[in-house]
Amino acid sequence: LAAEEEEETERVLRALTKEVLGSDRGEALLNATEALAELDLAAARAEHAEWLSAKPPRLFRVDDEIGTKSADAVRLPGMQHPLLLQPRLPSLPRGGKVGEDEEVDGWESMEDDARTKERDPRLDDEAMEEETPRVSTRFEATDVVPVDFCPPQNTRLVAITGPNTGGKTASLKALGLALLMARAGLHLPTDARETAAVPWTSRVLADLGDAQSLDLDGGLSTFSAHLTRLRRILAAARDTRDAVVVLLDEPGGGTDPSEGAALAAAVLRASADRSTLTVATSHYEEVKALAEGSAENAVAPFPGAANAAVEFDTATLRPTYRLLWGTSGESNALAVARGLGLEEALADAAERRWRRGRAANGVAADADAGEEGAGARLSVATLWERTHTLQYMLTPKGEPIPPPLPGAAGASAAAATSADAEEALAVFGSTDRRAALGAALPALRGKVCGDAPLPGVAEQTDAILSALSVLRVLTASPARVMALGRADAEEASNRAASVALPAEAFVSAKLSGKLVRQLGDTLSLCSGSLPAWCVALARTCPFLFPFETRQQLFYCTTFGLARALHRMHGQTENGGGGQDLRVGRLQRQKVRVSRERILESAVKVFDMAPAHKMVLEVEFFDEVGTGTGPTLEFYTLLSRELASRALGAWRDADARSVDETGAKEPVTAPHGLFPAPMRVDAGDAGDAAAPKSPGGLKRLDLFRLLGRVVGKAMQDSRLLDVGLSPAFYRAAVGGAALSLPDVAAVDPELGRTLARLDAAAKRVAALRASGAPEAEWRGVTVDGAAVADLCLAFTLPGDDAFELRPGGADVAVDAANLGEYVDAVVDATVGGGVARQLEAFRGGLRDICQPAALGVFSASELERVLCGEGQAWTPELLSECVTFDHGYSVASPPIQALMEVLCAYGPEEQRAFLRFVTGAPRLPPGGLAALHPRLTVVCKQPSGAAGGAAGADGAPISAGTTLADKDLPSAMTCASYLKLPPYSCVEVLRERLGYAVNEGVGSFDLS
């Protein structure tokens, strides 16, 4: 009834108001009301000023006076806290309280004032009871100590330090109230003899008190509550262009003191850069050092920072509540605890423990302790803030450890024995391993990591990542690193054999988790706000992240937003959960090609600009197949064509001619495809097409096409069947400069020969440098034979027509020019001789994506992404990763027979089966579990059956029948769909499936 009465009253009042406002005098009444409100507000301000004995401050705009975000002119001399004055002054006119049930526009406190109590005991409720003596004016309230908030010129950051209950927070709140009172047009209770000056602030952002909650759902701890508010404050300060003042009460509290201090210093620096003025209270030494700096730790003062301390009376052991500028205060926690009535025994015990802790850290507890002596111990803080140079060496086995260097720490320690050294160094592995590491480190300086800093990271992070990169190179390519020194490559390889560490040793679980969470943020991907460190770190130090994470990053950042969302959508569907993504269909470019002219068709297809952006779908002339299957078949056939001997573009271990083997026969490259050298001085003549090259395709055009094919296959998530050499990936994608060790990876026999010649050349160079007689250095042999007796000329091994220098066929190799010969062969094989082909490949790849994007993968991983992988099949794996449907189950006899046959397949038989079912001869990274669409096997109705699901004996057809033994299986490659007749036994299934796989490879007639 009461609610209905209120509603009726409101309805009547609204009707009357509408009637009055609708009359002729309605507008006049509104204007009079607004004028009356203005007059009433002005009168209220005047009465409030008289009640407080306050005076008007000088307001200024920051941009007008100083032009920058700096609070030069902030002056609050003798400011008394209005809330401390209120209970001591006569009651306000009309009996109201300042601020009661009101919100001030512009004040954005990050606390609930109704729950927060001031830490200063002067603001407690008990201290504000009505029994407080009243005075006529604020000047008689001598117990309300005025605070002089007058920072030095150009101050942007103020740190208020000092004892607990000393008035730090009260000073902070007095400043905040003064700013808001001035903004509201109120006078301030400051020193009447001086003029206060405050900036016009659009926002006052404050973190005061504790918003800890014990909610079971989403509750906040003290630290997390403060951190949440700090994050909001920093974001608001960054996004506000006008003057902003930030007030922070003990930032970094509620957690480990060392981490909290570092966090507080970082937050205050950021806040000072974003605000007009930042004022914070703190007990941390790191915060005090922002204004004072630290000569000991080589820390410069932060520009615009100033310290202020609340005064502490050492005689009475009580705070005076005055603010002292230019100095920092001590916490004096033990003295304050005694003053607050803590049991004396507890206070004494705490002081003894505190003194023991300082003594253990080498710090005198007395205030007059002198500076550290030469032999004094370091405090914990000093230990971790200083830079200490460690000098070390490896001690040969069996020899005593040499004495420490003069002045080194621990000089008084007794010398350890060799056995002690072995025990201490055991953590680094065997003696051979430690010796290999010691030999490798000097060779790395300036040769492996280089001097260029990593992009997108800070200097300190760059140093850490450089060290990790060195360790990674040491373990991934130890022989290559050893070869940078003066030792011969074979010896270096032997010494480094035991150095390698598993790749998992360098994976950072924390960084990987952060990257996964970033990639899961769809909004960040859509808005292009993925943090720069994600891509920069993954490309420069990919070993920090697992392969799957880097693969996800690659596809989310390389080929545009639409493809990234489609990939995430596919993963969501396959995973059966996650966020619901709704994305449109990608545009597709459909083309028809001739199975007999694959290479010529590919040149035309990849010259089409739309094919670089749209999803490519291929169909073959006069064949029924369409969709993913024929497209994968096209890439498989094209891969074979790209590796054909007729192109004359690749190194070939087969010495037979093209006429003897056939034009379309692939080259023999047991260690991967690598370009055949082209003479640097031959110009366009070196790029001439081979005599039987399909369509007269030139070499450089071939490599440009290959770059486009590789990029397009990765863009559309297709698989190729082209086995490129790891050295090709490193040089073409990573831009690595190949050298002698890489020759062995391309051609092991040539690499071993050049390694022996290089070792002899180094011996010759060493003898000549030492001034040995000519007869001695010319007598250097290679496998017991003199260099001149090897009958070598300056031509490429295996190709006498390829001269390494003009007239090289007539220049004999001897001891004097052996080093030049080795360098020339290496350059022709993996350097200048293949540079133009590699650049053409990169040019084609750039049409689809930037080569640098592939830097997140190693050479072996690129092979997995581009060409897929094989997999050993077991019945358990097939049962888990294959779907059996349309009459079949995992227990069906034909399915059991199929799994037996598939598990017995070798690599080549597995490739043929996969090509028959999916169109590609290999599986994507992750094996059968990653195949999409999922491999499905269904029951194919036998042609001899009259229909129905049961045989003549009443058993179900899917259990196996002789009626199906003459039928052939068929496949839908676009859906990874195998239609398998229910054969009567495993022998029939093996023969029929093998026949279909071999006969159906040339077309889609069995679809």
Residues carrying an active site annotation: 974
DSSP strand E in 363-418: where?
none
Check: CB of residue 587 under 8 Å from CB of residue 614: yes
Parallel/antiparallel/unpaired status of strands 305-313 and 157-161: parallel
- The helix, strand and coil proportions of the chain, stated in percent and rounded to the nearest 5, come to 50, 10, 40
Q: Which residues contact 602 (CB under 8 A, 6 or more apart)?
A: 593, 638, 641, 705, 709
- 667: Cα within 13 Å, side-chain hemisphere: 25
Q: Which residues contact 97 (CB under 8 A, 6 or more apart)?
A: 86
Distance CA 128, CA 910 (A): 87
Q: How far apart are the first and last CA of the chain?
A: 79
Q: Which residues contact 698 (CB under 8 A, 6 or more apart)?
A: 687, 688, 689
Q: Which residues contact 702 (CB under 8 A, 6 or more apart)?
A: 642, 647, 649
Distance CA 231, CA 267 (A): 9
Distance CA 766, CA 658 (A): 46
**656 exposure class (CB count in 10 Å sphere: 0-12, 13-18, 19+):** exposed
**At which residue do the structure tokens 């994305």 appear?**
583
Number of H helices, E strands in the chain: 36, 21
Amino acid (one-letter) located at 182: A
Check: CB of residue 336 under 8 Å from CB of residue 165: yes
Q: Which residues contact 189 (CB under 8 A, 6 or more apart)?
A: 52, 53, 54, 79, 80, 82, 85, 138
Distance CA 307, CA 301 (A): 11
Distance CA 391, CA 406 (A): 12
Amino acid (one-letter) located at 464: I
Q: Which two tokens stand for residue 428?
A: 């680094």
Distance CA 160, CA 208 (A): 14
The backbone torsions φ and ψ at residue 895, rounded to the nearest 5 degrees and listed phi first, read -70, -40
Distance CA 959, CA 334 (A): 86
Query: Element (H or E) spanning 866, and its range?
Result: helix 859-867
- The residue among 580, 975, 857, 920 whose CA lies nearest residue 717 is 920
DSSP strand E in 718-807: where?
781-782, 785-786, 795-796, 799-803
- DSSP secondary structure code for residue 310 in this structure: E
Q: What is the DSSP string of 187-251?
A: -B---TTS--EEE--SEEEEE-S------TTT---HHHHHHHHHHHHHHHHHH--S-EEEEEEST
Give the 3-state secondary structure of residue 173: helix
Check: CB of residue 582 under 8 Å from CB of residue 545: no
- The residue among 652, 697, 659 whose CA lies nearest residue 675 is 652
Parallel/antiparallel/unpaired status of strands 970-972 and 977-980: antiparallel
Check: CB of residue 60 under 8 Å from CB of residue 73: yes
